[in-house]
Amino acid sequence: MGLFSRFTEGLTKSRESFREDINLLLNRGPKVDEEFWEGLEETLILSDMGGYSAVSIVDKLRNESVRKGYRDAYDVLDALNETIANEFVEGGDEILGSDAIVLFVGVNGSGKTTTCGKIAKQAKDAGRTVILGSGDTFRAAAIEQLEVWAKRADVEIVSRERGSDPASVCYETIERGEQIGADLVLIDTAGRLHTSSDLMRELEKVVSVVRKRANLPVKLVLVIDATTGQNGLQQAREFNLALDLDGVIITKLDGTAKGGIAVAVAHYLNLPIVKLGVGEGLEDLKDFDAHEYAAGLVGDFGRE
């Protein structure tokens, strides 16, 4: 299966759920009246795009509808993809595209370690010199898990025993990366709740040590599990407040109808999407393309 189909496949649940709601709306006829706009806004909110994005998208479409003289609901729906695509922020590709030290942060189980491994493999295959650092010293299994990914990706890894200071592991990873001429240093961190102030402080300390030692630009990437929907947005807000994030990766898009969360995160936090996780396998990591994503989310609504 090609990457595009795997990706659109990944958004199937989101798209189907959206289509059902829109079809209900279209059942009352294609007239563009107040009821239609309200229904559209509600549908966007239900798809987890969040209230602010939904209002902003509908406002833009309303203006356009007057300006361009849309005839009916189908004209509006044709313009919807483009309007959603415009909600996204540029710059996601650059985060992994150039030399960098990247820290993956997020709540427990969001997909940090898996994503770190997938990225290591992609970058290695693209001819880059990659090193992995196991900054999750909290669980022994986490270290082993990243070691497995390092083998799969065929890249070097720096890990220390469970209970070690995560900041020192990061320090050593950067040092080792410098020795081997790594142009991409990928550091996994332990999952933590955005509400746990002790653990958030620990993460701030890790980031500050990394910034001091860094020989390459440092990028902080939040990994969000799409299935958590609006809670993912709350996480993003808190992590961004504490760390000033550079970008976001959305995982588990394959198993959820909550794909709209990507729009909400981009809109609320003005952060670019770096990659998308659409499965558990090595290859299930997709580049983000705003137009493709919007199309995958909304689909086509042809006139009958």
Ligand X SMILES: Nc1nc2c(ncn2[C@@H]2O[C@H](COP(=O)(O)OP(=O)(O)OP(=O)(O)O)[C@@H](O)[C@H]2O)c(=O)[nH]1
List interacting residues with ligand X (CB under 6 A): 106, 108-114, 136, 142, 191, 251-252, 254-255, 277-280, 284
113 binds Mg ion (CB under 5 A): yes
The item of ligand X, Mg ion, none sharing an interface with residue 252, based on CB under 5 to 8 Å by kind, is ligand X
14 binds Mg ion (CB under 5 A): no
- Give the residue with the Cβ less far from ligand X, 58 or 153: 153
115 binds Mg ion (CB under 5 A): no
- Taking the C-alpha atoms of residue 199 and residue 205, their distance in angstroms, rounded to an integer, is 10
Bridge partner residues of 131 (DSSP): 156, 185
Bridge partner residues of 187 (DSSP): 103, 133
3-state SS assignment for residue 88: coil
- Taking the C-alpha atoms of residue 145 and residue 161, their distance in angstroms, rounded to an integer, is 13
Which tokens is 141 given? 């299994």
In angstroms, give the least distance from the CB of 164 to Mg ion. Answer: 15
In angstroms, give the least distance from the CB of 105 to Mg ion. Answer: 11
In angstroms, give the least distance from the CB of 111 to Mg ion. Answer: 8
The item of Mg ion, ligand X, none sharing an interface with residue 43, based on CB under 5 to 8 Å by kind, is none
Please report which helix (H) or strand (E) contains residue 1, including its range.
none
The item of Mg ion, ligand X, none sharing an interface with residue 278, based on CB under 5 to 8 Å by kind, is ligand X
In angstroms, give the least distance from the CB of 175 to ligand X. Answer: 24
Task: For residue 168, count CB atoms less than 10 angstroms from its CB and return exposed for 0-12, middle for 13-18, buried for 19 or more.
Answer: middle
DSSP string, 110-163: SSHHHHHHHHHHHHHHTT--EEEEEE--S-HHHHHHHHHHHHHHT-EEE---TT
The item of ligand X, Mg ion, none sharing an interface with residue 15, based on CB under 5 to 8 Å by kind, is none
Stretch that binds Mg ion, among 91-99, 134-142, 205-213, 224-232 (CB under 5 A): 134-142
3-state SS assignment for residue 190: coil
- Give the residue with the Cβ less far from ligand X, 10 or 50: 10
Is the Cβ–Cβ distance between 168 and 135 less than 8 Å?
A: no
- Give the residue with the Cβ less far from ligand X, 56 or 251: 251
- Give the residue with the Cβ less far from Mg ion, 129 or 227: 227
Interacting residues with Mg ion (CB under 5 A): 112-113, 142
